[in-house]
Amino acid sequence: MVLTKKIKRIHFVGIGGAGVSALARLMLDMGYEVTGSDVLPSEVTEELRELGAIIFDTHDSRHVRKANLVIISTAIPDDNPEIVAAKEQGLPVLSRIDFLSYLAQKKYSISVSGSHGKSTTSAMISVIFYYADTDPTIVLGGRVKHLFGNSRLGRSNYFICEGDESNNSMLLFAPRVAVVTNIDDDHMDFHKSLDNLRTSFLTFMNSPHPDGVCVLCADDPVLKELYPLVTRPTYTYGLSEDADFRAVDIEHMPEGSRFTVVHREAGELGRITLRLPGVYNILNALSAVAVAQHCGIDFGKSAFALENFPGVARRFDRVLERDDILILDDYAHHPSEIAALLEAVARAKKRRLRVVFQPHRFTRSQRLAAKFPDAFAPADEIILADIYSALEKPIEGITTEYLYSFFERTYPPGKVKVILRKEEILTYLKKTLVQGDVVLTVGAGDIYLVANALANYLRDKKLSFAGKPRRAPETLEEQSSDLFETRREVDN
């Protein structure tokens, strides 16, 4: 038992992180006193402060003196002074995922995992249950725009969350509904091999819950291979003809897509309109429909919710959208994600596509270097920024220039540029923008600052075909102005 009657104050170390902030907000809603520390003040920490949390912008042993329970981000090292002090005082110290799994196991839990798409899929499920008045508790790794952010406290038994495969923390859950979107070769620094990753996902799909069911994508080749080994009742979804829930009559539109959902036995369920483009978002929506159908939610309510789904922050964000310019931002950082994203953008907008890519982690850059160039095929111009470390230690020889050596073998001279600093990227874009450009910033780090800064600079300007922007403030923070945010996804 974690949340005993003695627990009054909960302290969160790394409270600005995506997953930790969601739990902190949930605890505030449950009436607990919440304190937290983070060295990067942000919009997230400011929101928590406004909700009643006490936020420190340093790590200090004194911060845990009055705490009864300490929750830590996976990005925080064990020698952090607050963690050391908490253990010396005999306080219970739990990782974010340990605490989340504890909360989930007390409810009818729906846990979404997969190499790609789990944040959007879990958010779609959450929005369906929210609009269907099931009053779910929700804890997400991404922020649902304009609705409930990354968490909400519900009064029903439904608990919707993500299961993280990066360190096998998904195996701490025993969900009633285990959703797997796909399996790809990511996080090999932990799993070491694709076979190990496959085994972990199979264990997750065969949830030990006696009434557990599994929802998986019939189009994913690895999941197809694992399907005969899944012992739980299973629903499949996809474009494949043998899927239980299938999308047909697909219309791709500039701002999204339309498709009809057909059930293997029940036949045509109805038509869905999405505000988000791309086949991958159609698959995410099918997964959400499958979960909702299993839980008895009427298809009409699912269709209504998905048509009004506002999207998740940093997933196909339309930062600035005008006739003369479109600026987009996305969290994609794996070659498969980037390829799907760029295909969707190119299909939606038949204009010059300029992509700014910030590689994420040295280990991922080293392992997947040869796979990145082909993912950018739809781009007309590619700008490579400095690698975002995500607190990893540098690996000798693994730099943006190393990645560029793979790109230059694939593309003609001039198509790919190395501009390491965000301020210099911003300056270059201001000088070279022309009417009709689509600018896309891509990566799981802080490259969105470039998109925000460029959008803020262009608010009161119209582009000509010559592209003659006026002078703006010098620093990236000044350029961003009121759009400057520090969002971090350190738990990925």
For each of the chain's 492 residues, which pLDDT tens digit applies?
688 889 999 999 999 988 899 999 999 999 999 999 999 888 899 999 999 999 999 999 999 999 999 999 888 889 999 999 999 999 999 999 899 999 998 899 999 999 888 999 999 999 999 999 999 999 998 888 878 788 999 999 999 998 877 777 777 888 999 999 999 877 667 767 888 888 888 998 998 888 999 999 999 999 999 999 999 999 999 999 999 999 999 999 878 999 999 999 999 999 999 999 899 999 999 999 999 999 999 999 999 999 999 888 888 899 999 989 999 999 999 999 999 999 989 887 778 999 999 999 999 999 999 999 999 999 999 999 999 998 889 999 999 999 999 999 999 999 999 999 999 999 999 999 999 999 999 999 999 999 999 999 998 877 765 444 444 344 454 444 433 333 333 334
CATH 3.40.50.2300 fits 105-307, yes or no: no
> What's the whole-model pTM score?
0.85
Q: How many CB atoms lie within 10 A of CB 258?
A: 16
Tokens representing 417 are: 């540029």
**Which one of 3.30.300.30, 3.30.360.10, 1.10.540.10, 3.90.190.20 gives the CATH number of domain 317-483?**
3.90.190.20
CATH number of 9-95: 3.40.50.720
The answer to whether residues 73 and 97 touch, using CB atoms and an 8 Å cutoff, is no
* Pair 362, 393: CB distance under 8 Å: yes
In single-letter form, the type of residue at position 208 comes to P
Rounded CA-CA distance 159/168 in Å is: 20
Q: Is the Cβ–Cβ distance between 216 and 223 less than 8 Å?
A: yes
Q: Among candidates 74, 69, 78, which has minimal Cα distance to 1?
A: 69
How is the chain split into domains, by residue range?
A: 9-95, 105-307, 317-483
Task: Enumerate residues 6+ apart whose C-beta is below 8 A from 171.
Answer: 200, 203, 204
**Cα radius of gyration (the chain):** 22
Instruction: Let me know: does 112 contact 121? Beta carbons within 8 Å.
Output: yes
